Amino acid sequence: MQNALDPHAAIVTEASGGAATLLTTADGQPLARALARSSARARRRAFLLVAPLLLFVVVTFVIPIGQMLHRSMYNAGFADNMPQVSAWFQENPAGTPIDEAAWGALAADLQLAAGNRTIGIVGTRINYDVPGTRSLFTSTGRKARDGFPPPYRDSLIEADAKWDNPTLWRAMRSASSAYTANFYLSSLDRTRDDDGKITTVPERQQVYVMLFKRTLWLSLAITGMTFLLGFPIAHLLATLPMRKSNLLMILVLLPFWTSLLVRTTAWMVLLQQQGVLNDIFVWLGVVGPDGRLQMIYNRTGTIIAMTHILLPFMILPLYSVMRTINPSYVRAARSLGATSWTAFRRVYFPQTLPGLGAGALLVFILAVGYYITPALVGGSTGQLISNMIAMHMTETLNWSMAAALAALLLGGVLVLYWVYDRLVGIDNLKLG
Amino acid sequence: MTTAFGNDGFVVFDHVQKSYDGQTLVVKDLNLSIGKGEFLTMLGPSGSGKTTCLMMLAGFETATHGEIRLDGRNINDVPPHKRGIGMVFQNYALFPHMTVGENLAFPLEVRGMGKAERESRIIRALDMVQMGKFRNRRPAQLSGGQQQRIALARALVFDPQLVLMDEPLGALDKQLREHMQYEIKSLHDSLGITVVYVTHDQGEALTMSDRIAVFNDGRIQQLAPPSVLYEQPENSFVAGFIGENNKLLGTIEKMDGARAVVRLTTGELIDATAVNVSGIGQRTLVSIRPERVEFKPELMPSDAHTIDAQVRDVIYMGDILRARMTVAGSEDFVMKFRNTLGQTRLEPGQRIRIGWHPQDARALDPV
């Protein structure tokens, strides 16, 4: 309908009479077609302008995230390198006793994988599900160069008794299909029991759900802290005269201009047990020399350092909203009989909500995915889920697990975004 | 009119001074007494101190020196919310996140008024400005004129004795502005409230006010009812600021009481009334309203001095004709005359003699 107001639209002559009134231009063409033609050029040009960005986003964002999501439920490390035993699993449903054919397939596959030097990949894949099995595969692989003689069951068990383990076979069965939900189950501290039912893993192995909860809780705490600290600063910035507020703005933005590592290191210097702050406390007699506070390498350190680093993301949207609030609103409220607190609570604060929403969302989303600061100052109790993702990426090399954790995190953020949209409305968001 | 107000001192500014930077005075020694029920307008160019005075009265600025009294009570240290003064702002300042009804309920809620009483007052206030149907709208859904009415209703809903208005009609178009002037005036008359109105629009000030205080340079230049202000300006700033004005520079040639004869710099003699000049030989600026200039001898006093004028152009304005002339070296001398049946039509280039009644030409201080 908007296009009807397009100044480029041709002159309209309305064919009068008849139920099916078709609007045409002065020379008798259908109006819709004339309009499409006249605006096509502008549309093409607009598309060409955004094309580089579109390409960039697709190449650097959509494809990698798509790959990550794919990897979180696809791992062909076993299926590709162990074709015969995988085929046996396909043909025989779960619960079928392991027969000699299965053992034969396994023996042949082990020989094949050992020859192709892919036995390590296979072992790593099974190791995700049954810890300690990688060495079983590699050691058996070394003995498999020349093949195993039949009966295969006996020769394999002779090579290593651990092969006769139903858990191992169940793990191989689930790994035989490249597509699996197992990584998601593990991400939620769940696993399949011997009957294939989903159960919780033993308590001492539970780590991810606790980490997700901690990430959520710490991110909320950090968001709350940035709000408490940032709101007065943003208000000051918005109300001070230009020259002073510019100076203050530089102070707010200063952290942005410093390397993240430098800032984090500075916090270490300040907060550690032999650090500046503790020295001052001891000197003032607030704490004894033996009672130095542990303020870093734990949750406190993570909260302090991340609050500092994320503070500008709260201040800037708040500031941009507050600057547009005319001081006459508060004056009007005061003249109408409201105390300064009531005027703030009922008139000023509600008008800052779009900025507050934007700031809180920004800080929260950034905090949920923050990695480097908790890694450096978090100790063991200040680690977040992203540190676990990093560990799977760089240490255990279980990328599928990392991808599943990241996908859950992404899903959580999207859900949060949706909830925010329902509660506040995304159109109310004001980023600047 | 002056005698009806101003003596009971409902609002009093007593030697009030205001400085923002400690070096210059924005308001220099203001003394003003406003009567109960009066409609007083503070008129002046921007930066003249009129808005500062209003803000001090509302309590948003503190007086650097002097005392402001409301109904006999010194309110210098009373916070704005305890003054009970209604205020209408230039940009209306309707709370954007509340509906019209909530906006009106706000002053009543903060006063702890019960729901039933609130309801009846809101309905009464909305009916007063003919906006009863808009109660559930948000301010952004209203036109400028409608927002103005709501702002007015909100300032009146808690029955304040004094209402301040800070250029409330500045953002409206001309027609709506004139209509709202009339409405504000009639609300003032029917409610009997005291209004202090700030504007830089002299037409607005003339139509609405009981008295006008003309501000310039931090001082009240003249405080008088509209007709006095227009016809008898006391100094050249007031004469120049209110209405259109012809100015002729000269020296006093002869003085007989208030009646004076002025010799212009180009040598001609004209009649004038001495206002703030003291004696013969003093330089003066004579100010004459365009509509008081005559070119027909029968409309002038018999002994009037007349001077030469050459018509430059005549603009047809419908109800009047406006002639721009060269008079005594000044090229912008304006004469307005009524467009009556059979009125003499002046042509560009035509030479005429013009004159006026001595009381219409006011000899003021030279600027």
pLDDT in tens, A44-81: 999 999 999 999 999 999 999 999 999 999 988 898 89
A14 vs A360 pLDDT, higher one: A360
Q: Are residues B184 and B300 located together in one domain of the fold?
A: no
Q: Are residues B105 and B180 located together in one domain of the fold?
A: yes
pLDDT confidence of residue A429:
66
* SS3 state at B225: coil
- Token match 């600026």: residue? B285
pLDDT confidence of residue A16:
44
Compute the distance between CA of residue B30 and CA of residue B63 in angstroms, rounded to an integer. 11
Average pLDDT over residues A414-431: 78
A27 vs A322 pLDDT, higher one: A322
Helices (H), B129-208: 144-156, 174-191, 202-208
Nearest CA in chain B to A334: B81
Q: For the stretch A119-141, what's the b/e string if a residue is b when 16 or more beta carbons lie within 10 angstroms of its beta carbon?
A: bbbbbbbbbbbbeebbebbeebb
Residue of A328, A335, A347 with shortest CB distance to B91 = A328
Sequence-ordered list of residues with C-beta below 8 angstroms from that of B11, at least 6 positions apart, any chain: B32, B33, B34, B57, B68, B69, B70, B162, B194, B196
Nearest CA in chain A to B153: A336
Q: Are residues B166 and B112 located together in one domain of the fold?
A: yes
Q: Which residues of B touch A335 (CB under 8 A)?
A: 58-59, 80-81, 83, 85-87, 155, 164
pLDDT confidence of residue A407:
93
pLDDT confidence of residue B253:
87
State the residue range of the domain holding B184. 11-236
pLDDT at A195 over 80: no
- Token match 């609050």: residue? A307
Q: For the stretch A53-72, what's the b/e string if a residue is b when 16 or more beta carbons lie within 10 angstroms of its beta carbon?
A: eeeeeeeeeeeeeeebbebb
Sequence-ordered list of residues with C-beta below 8 angstroms from that of A98, at least 6 positions apart, any chain: A153, A169
Q: Supply the DSSP symbol for A79.
A: T
Please check whether residue B4 lies inside any domain of the structure.
no
Please check whether residue B1 lies inside any domain of the structure.
no
Size of interface A-B (CB pairs under 8 A): 67
Q: Are residues B306 and B186 located together in one domain of the fold?
A: no
Q: Are residues B154 and B276 located together in one domain of the fold?
A: no
Q: Which residues of B touch A347 (CB under 8 A)?
A: 95
pLDDT confidence of residue A98:
86
Q: Are residues B50 and B171 located together in one domain of the fold?
A: yes
Of A39, A40, A35, which is closest to residue A25 (Cα–Cα)? A35
- Report residue A362: phi and psi, to 5°: -60, -55
Compute the distance between CA of residue A280 and CA of residue A146 in angstroms, rounded to an integer. 71
Q: What residue ranges of chain B have pLDDT lower than 50?
A: 1-6
Compute the distance between CA of residue A343 and CA of residue A213 in angstroms, rounded to an integer. 37
Compute the distance between CA of residue B95 and CA of residue B147 in angstroms, rounded to an integer. 11
Q: Are residues B209 and B256 located together in one domain of the fold?
A: no
pLDDT confidence of residue A201:
85
CATH 1.10.3720.10 positions along chain A are: 208-428
Q: Does A255 sit behind a cis peptide bond, omega within 30 degrees of 0 on the bond before it?
A: no
pLDDT confidence of residue B112:
92
Computed on alpha carbons and rounded to an integer, the radius of gyration of chain B in Å comes to 24
Measured between CA atoms, how close is A342 to chain B, in angstroms?
8
Contact (CB<8Å) B58/A342: no
Single residue among B205, B236, B267 that ends a domain in this structure: B236
pLDDT confidence of residue A10:
42
Contact (CB<8Å) B96/A333: no
- CATH code for the domain of B102: 3.40.50.300
Compute the distance between CA of residue B185 and CA of residue B168 in angstroms, rounded to an integer. 13
> What share of chain A in percent tops pLDDT 70?
94
pLDDT confidence of residue B367:
61
Please check whether residue B113 lies inside any domain of the structure.
yes
Please check whether residue B2 lies inside any domain of the structure.
no
Q: Are residues B208 and B341 located together in one domain of the fold?
A: no
pLDDT confidence of residue B305:
85
Single residue among B236, B263, B285 that ends a domain in this structure: B236
Average pLDDT over residues A169-176: 88
Q: Are residues B119 and B205 located together in one domain of the fold?
A: yes
pLDDT at A345 over 90: yes
| Paired strand residues for B362 | B273, B287
**Interface of chain B toward chain A, CB-CB under 8 angstroms:** 58-60, 79-87, 89-91, 93, 95-97, 106-107, 110-111, 154-155, 158, 164
Single residue among B206, B236, B266 that ends a domain in this structure: B236
Residue of A335, A347, A350 with shortest CB distance to B85 = A335
Residue of A336, A339, A350 with shortest CB distance to B106 = A336
B69 vs A144 pLDDT, higher one: B69
Measured between CA atoms, how close is A398 to chain B, in angstroms?
51
List the structure tokens of A345: 């609570």
Q: How confident is the model at residue A430 (pLDDT cuts 50, 70, 90)?
A: low
Mean of pLDDT over chain A: 86
Q: How confident is the model at residue A6 (pLDDT cuts 50, 70, 90)?
A: very low
Q: By mean pLDDT, which of A143-147, A229-233, A273-277 is the weakest?
A: A143-147
Measured between CA atoms, how close is A314 to chain B, in angstroms?
22
Contact (CB<8Å) A334/B80: yes
Q: Are residues B265 and B195 located together in one domain of the fold?
A: no
Q: Are residues B215 and B321 located together in one domain of the fold?
A: no
- Token match 């206030």: residue? B125
Please check whether residue B120 lies inside any domain of the structure.
yes
Task: Count the domains in chain B.
Answer: 2
Sequence-ordered list of residues with C-beta below 8 angstroms from that of A107, at least 6 positions apart, any chain: A144, A147, A148, A152, A155, A156
- Token match 């200063």: residue? A254
Q: Which residues of B touch A328 (CB under 8 A)?
A: 89-91, 93
Answer whether B36's CB lies under 8 Å from B49's CB. Answer: no
pLDDT confidence of residue B58:
94
Q: Which of B75, B97, B111 to mutate to test the interface with A (most CBs of A within 10 A)?
A: B97
Q: What share of chain A is helix, strand, coil (3-state, %, to 5)?
A: 70, 5, 25
pLDDT confidence of residue B271:
87
Q: How confident is the model at residue A128 (pLDDT cuts 50, 70, 90)?
A: confident
pLDDT at A26 over 90: no
Please check whether residue B343 lies inside any domain of the structure.
yes
Contact (CB<8Å) B81/A347: no
- pLDDT tens-digit readout, A9-21: 444 444 444 445 6
Q: Give the architecture (CATH level 2) of A208-428.
A: Orthogonal Bundle (1.10)
pLDDT at A2 over 60: no
ipTM of the complex, rounded to two decimals: 0.81
Residue of A326, A331, A338 with shortest CB distance to B110 = A338
Q: Are residues B163 and B255 located together in one domain of the fold?
A: no
Answer whether B362's CB lies under 8 Å from B287's CB. Answer: yes
pLDDT confidence of residue A8:
43
pLDDT confidence of residue B4:
46
Nearest CA in chain B to A340: B81
What is chain B's length? 367
Contact (CB<8Å) A335/B106: no
pLDDT confidence of residue A330:
93
Please check whether residue B182 lies inside any domain of the structure.
yes
